Structure 1
Amino acid sequence: MNRLLLITVLLPLTSVCSAQKKVVALPESVTVEPRITYADRDGHKLTLDVYRPKSPARKMPVVVFVHGGGWKNGSSQSARKNAAWLAEDGFAVVAINYRLTDVAQWPAQIDDCYEAVRWVRRSADEYGFDATRVGAWGTSAGAHLAALMGTRRYPDKEEVSSEVQAVCDWFGPTELLTMPPNNVGNGRTEADIAVSNGAKLLGATVRDVPEKARDASALDNVSYSSSPFLIMHGSQDKGVPIEQSARLHSKLTSMGVEATLEVIQGAGHGGKLFQTPDARGYVRSFFTRHLMSNWSQGQGDAGTLTSGELVPNTFSVETNKNIRWKRDLPETGQSAVTVFGNRLFFTTMKQVDADAELGTDIVAWCCNADTGEVIWNRPVKAEHPLRLSGCFSDSSSPPPVTDGRYVVFFNASGRITCFDMDGKEQWSRGKMAVGRSQPFLQDGRIVNSRLVYTRQKYMPEKGHFTHEHKDAPESLWTNLEAIDLETGDPAWSSSCGVNMGCIPSPLSLSRGRKVIFVGRGGGHSPPEKPEGVSMINALDGSTIWTLPLEGYMSTQTYGVFGSHVMIFHKDEHLWVNVESGQIDRRISICNDVTVHGWSKEGYATRKESLPAKGKRSIIQQSNVVVGHYHFFRSYTHPYLGRINLTTGDLEYLQVPVQQRRTPNGETEALFDASQMSKPIPKDKKERPFGTGTTISFVAWDLNDVANNNGHQVMGDARSQGNGWGHHASAIPTAAGGCVYFPIMSGMVYVVDAKADRFDDSALVSVSDLGPVNRTWTRSCLTFAHGRIYARTIKHLICIEQPAEETD
């Protein structure tokens, strides 16, 4: 290895791997098909090697690996040590050979790279590639070419695209005109630069062919449409000055292109420091983020609760329809399932051995996304008890957040803990994330990311929040806190208070402004003032504007359409201007509304006025903005609501409150109390649990809220309800043109997100996560890899349409 480093210093851009003689052994799960011909150029057969998982569970994103060697040496074999571990993570790695300078000059080298990408796309069906997800990765001279693949588009028409969706640049030259070996000085003569690697590539010195040198430089080809970049460079690189990478990074970011520069301290031109777990973690995280579909935080990667994935719109755990796999869980839990590459993250409560009402400790889980098999689990202990399986939240409710290098778990009983992707603890803090908190990454960068969550300053007595904090000082107010993802150290706290039940979301406004909308006001006399909505700066937590709204119920999500943030206030829907913080438009969601309602004769459209129930007319956190519609659930009726945000038109669709399968396999639906054998008592004291919303009792039976061992794990009797009325809903999410509304009983309403009329034709399916009243969930559905991931009190579930049905 010492000899290898010496060669690197004396011969800049010489392949780091070319001196290695030992063949790297491949893992058992990885296979390689070598020397496949992808093109023939002037009698020169160009070959590539394909590394991939032996048994891929889905279409594989592809990383095209371009070797180094000063454009005159090297081969595709240098990819082997990197391809081995990347293929283990579900990628196909296509390591290419290209024409070297003893055979052809510029632009032959980049043209060969383009052709390799075309080969990947043409061969997608044969090899199981995902033709829509192709990245490039190169080292040294190969990084020079990879960077051009992400900045210099093929200049002519092409039948198959050669564009790549992400570029990893390891210590490559980015501007040939300023590369030291191409210029006289520091002991280099005219004769030296005439035989430099750059001159051999271009056929002349850069001084003689400056336009050609610019054409062959990524720095001179950067545009607004360039691919996202991860640039890694050694701080002691004597072959390619680090300024080459720094300038490319600066220009990319100035154009608004996502780019990260990670300087490997102490590293030279490649070497062992580029093969550490941390270095590999950067690459793995980068390509997973850009070439795989992920749901890396509770509200999705973009924080909008939506995904472009095409996923099943009908499914049943009870009948095993479109269920890829189902895994038993040892205990109740509520967090959504977050997905990053081939890993799932979620939480459960610590297992109990008898009926239980309270809990404090949770378990952090990492499972395989393809099989559900456990990769690792870790305890996250805390001290403040909360009610198990609460219909508003419990200790396990906040979803994990990951950037692909670290994953953070939140115990709402008072602990936040960060692990690396292998389950090694990085840091832990005794802080209280609100049970209904939906933590998110502030910026999604690979390095120096911040994590934002809703922080509680006081905890309930025996798991029950009272009204005693109504006049608490600002020092005890709930607010947003941003922490450094790598260290757990605080970065900022919001200057305004935040209600524990509101769902702040990271949003991007015009001109790239990063903001967060938050609300104040809710049940149990929260102290934060004034009631209403604020827009805060996501960079430092400062308040930009505040809109006071007396009696505001902030327990909702905050979506943006055009120049407005959409909110519900009492019995109205408001369009709030994001620039001024003023209300530009309002409509009633209760008075004389259009309802597509059910009767025994079928569906019919009618006008109806719904009761305005004080502070709220929607079920808490049951709303989501999808396209130009705002969807929500009525607080008093089994109605899904939809507002056209362009026209202001409002429609309600009545849906079955419960649905079950009869012994003969038919489906039976319960729409209202008239179908029940016994009337619902009018006196709350005579009802099974103390909820004022009558709709909560339209059910064949109470939910058993039981775990897999048959123990009832419930500290709030209202959790036995049907998933309508007074509770905090599982947050609806959207994918593939549909909106998914899971409810506490395990039913899932799937509606067409673009339907012209919001009548019964818009109800795509009433699916299920298990038998009604024997299934319990408060978790939203998440989407990745063409699949839906769900969890209930008993099961972790992967929903996927069989391949033969999708062909």
Structure 2
Amino acid sequence: MQLSFYRRCGWVLMPGLLVIASCYPSLAQTPTLARDTSFTVYSALAKARKADPTITLARPAVPATIRARMNVPYCTAGGRTLQLDVFYPKARRRGGYPAVLLIHGGGWRSGDRSQHVPMAQQLAARGFVAVTAEYRLSTEAPYPAAVLDLKAAVRWMRANARAYRINSKQIATWGFSAGGQLAALLGTTNEETRFDSLACNTRYSSQVQAIVDVDGILAFIHPESGEGDDRKSTSAATYWFGSPKTERPDLWRQASALTYVGPHTPPTLFLNSSVDRMHAGRDDMMQQLSQLNIYHEQHTFPDAPHPFPLFNPWFQPTLNYTVDFLNRVFGGSSKTNN
């Protein structure tokens, strides 16, 4: 039996947002504080190679034109310091460079920011400041902790724009899988101040100007979604929310980017594998973006496994689509070879 997390816990009321005060979900939903290594680049590669032995891990040479700052603290949350890595061009540019916050996947429970260091390095070589940030996973803190953390990461980027040559008017989110869901949610909630409750760099905005969603779900309660089916085992989203969708559907909708699509939604790029359930709600969101005359693109890689952006032959086209889209949105001039 799974009791509702939210009926059993104490709460602190913040502007427009309930925040957990002193209680965690019981049974299988209890945050363990132990690292979950169920999703790694190498375990995903081994699984993908069972279907296609030609798949290889994307590890391009580190460009000589970039700099890196690793393990930079960006906020304290839940009693510990959150960190990020920054990759940026060596050359200075008047007005700074567009920036991209890269968000890793792993079912809101596993994975880490090192997954996308190769992508961040290549983006920096193409004229972007790329930031890979950690966030609290469901083993440590349930929703909305991850959202609060990543909003704080965007504010840190603006607070440190001069040091890292960031154009603070041109910040995008880029995320894969659970990270794609979070990237889309950050962008569609630009007007939702309820998610800006962490007391870090509060003088700065967490708004972003573009979204790149790489196989991330857009709506949790949707005919295409596989999240919330707990018949055989607890789904990743149920762990994250701390409550089944049958008990708190309002919470599951609150975390769905599709819920917030409106006139202020930024231009969006959808990059997808052949696994349809990984982009539940995408077509509905694209329809709404079309009605609102908001620029968007969608590209699917036929027969690609879900973790395709981590592997060859999909890494380079994922990079190219990302750079082309961001240059179109931000008015850049980087060139790619499609």
Q: TM-score range by the shorter chain?
A: 0.7 to 0.9
Q: Is 1:85–2:119 an aligned residue pair?
A: no
After superposition, the Cα gap between the structure-2 partners of 1:196 and 1:43, relative to the gap in structure 1 and judged at 3 Å, is same
Q: Is 1:155–2:181 an aligned residue pair?
A: no
The residue number in structure 2 matching 1:381 is none
Q: State how 1:492-503 maps to structure 2 within 5 Å.
A: none
The residue number in structure 2 matching 1:165 is 209
The residue number in structure 2 matching 1:106 is 143
The equivalent position to 1:50 in structure 2, one of 67, 75, 86, is 86
Measured in 2, the distance between the counterparts of 1:127 and 1:96 equals: 15
Deviation at 1:254, TM superposition (A): 2.5
After superposition, the Cα gap between the structure-2 partners of 1:79 and 1:57, relative to the gap in structure 1 and judged at 3 Å, is same
**Alignment deviations for residues 703-736 of structure 1 (CA, whole Å, 9 cap, x no partner):** xxxxxxxxxxxxxxxxxxxxxxxxxxxxxxxxxx
Deviation at 1:225, TM superposition (A): 0.8
Measured in 2, the distance between the counterparts of 1:163 and 1:96 equals: 16
Q: Give the structure with the higher percent strand.
A: 1
Deviation at 1:182, TM superposition (A): 2.7
After superposition, the Cα gap between the structure-2 partners of 1:146 and 1:8, relative to the gap in structure 1 and judged at 3 Å, is farther
Deviation at 1:44, TM superposition (A): 1.8
Deviation at 1:180, TM superposition (A): 4.2
Deviation at 1:90, TM superposition (A): 1.2
Deviation at 1:261, TM superposition (A): 1.2
The residue number in structure 2 matching 1:39 is 75
Measured in 2, the distance between the counterparts of 1:197 and 1:205 equals: 11
Measured in 1, the distance between the counterparts of 2:240 and 2:172 equals: 24
Measured in 1, the distance between the counterparts of 2:211 and 2:323 equals: 12
Measured in 1, the distance between the counterparts of 2:216 and 2:177 equals: 4
Flag structure 2 segments of 5+ consecutive residues without an equivalent.
Answer: 1-40, 51-55, 197-201
Q: Write the letter of the residue equivalent to 2:130.
A: V
The residue number in structure 2 matching 1:281 is 320
Q: Is 1:206–2:245 an aligned residue pair?
A: yes
Q: Write the letter of the residue equivalent to 2:186.
A: M
CA contact (8 A) 2:103 2:176 kept: yes
Measured in 2, the distance between the counterparts of 1:114 and 1:8 equals: 32
CA contact (8 A) 1:267 1:273 kept: no
- How many pairs align? 282
The residue number in structure 2 matching 1:182 is 227
Deviation at 1:174, TM superposition (A): 0.9
The residue number in structure 2 matching 1:120 is 157
Deviation at 1:50, TM superposition (A): 0.1
The equivalent position to 1:130 in structure 2, one of 167, 191, 196, is 167
Deviation at 1:242, TM superposition (A): 4.4
- Structure with the bigger RCO (C-alpha within 8 Å, sep 6+) is 2
CA contact (8 A) 1:177 1:207 kept: no
The residue number in structure 1 matching 2:6 is none
Deviation at 1:24, TM superposition (A): 5.7
Measured in 2, the distance between the counterparts of 1:3 and 1:99 equals: 21
Q: Is 1:143–2:183 an aligned residue pair?
A: no
Deviation at 1:132, TM superposition (A): 1.2
Deviation at 1:200, TM superposition (A): 1.1
Q: TM-score, normalised by structure 2?
A: 0.76
Flag structure 1 segments of 5+ consecutive residues without an equivalent.
Answer: 11-18, 295-339, 342-403, 406-419, 422-807
The residue number in structure 2 matching 1:237 is 275
The residue number in structure 2 matching 1:754 is none
After superposition, the Cα gap between the structure-2 partners of 1:79 and 1:241, relative to the gap in structure 1 and judged at 3 Å, is closer
* SS of corresponding position for 2:108: coil
CA contact (8 A) 2:218 2:279 kept: no
The residue number in structure 1 matching 2:44 is 4
Deviation at 1:155, TM superposition (A): 2.4
Instruction: Tell me the C-alpha RMSD between the 2 structures.
Output: 2.7
* SS of corresponding position for 1:279: helix
Measured in 2, the distance between the counterparts of 1:274 and 1:103 equals: 34
% same residue: 27
Measured in 2, the distance between the counterparts of 1:181 and 1:80 equals: 29
Deviation at 1:5, TM superposition (A): 4.8
| Bigger-Rg structure (1/2) | 1
Measured in 2, the distance between the counterparts of 1:276 and 1:35 equals: 25
Deviation at 1:169, TM superposition (A): 0.5
Measured in 2, the distance between the counterparts of 1:6 and 1:205 equals: 31
* SS of corresponding position for 1:138: strand
After superposition, the Cα gap between the structure-2 partners of 1:90 and 1:164, relative to the gap in structure 1 and judged at 3 Å, is same
Measured in 2, the distance between the counterparts of 1:274 and 1:201 equals: 32
Q: Write the letter of the residue equivalent to 2:116.
A: A
After superposition, the Cα gap between the structure-2 partners of 1:131 and 1:274, relative to the gap in structure 1 and judged at 3 Å, is farther
**Alignment deviations for residues 157-193 of structure 1 (CA, whole Å, 9 cap, x no partner):** 7531101011111000111113644344xxx61x52x
The residue number in structure 1 matching 2:20 is none
CA contact (8 A) 1:48 1:97 kept: yes
Measured in 2, the distance between the counterparts of 1:217 and 1:148 equals: 7
CA contact (8 A) 1:229 1:258 kept: yes
Q: Write the letter of the residue equivalent to 1:155.
A: T
**Alignment deviations for residues 779-804 of structure 1 (CA, whole Å, 9 cap, x no partner):** xxxxxxxxxxxxxxxxxxxxxxxxxx
Q: State how 1:485-496 maps to structure 2 within 5 Å.
A: none
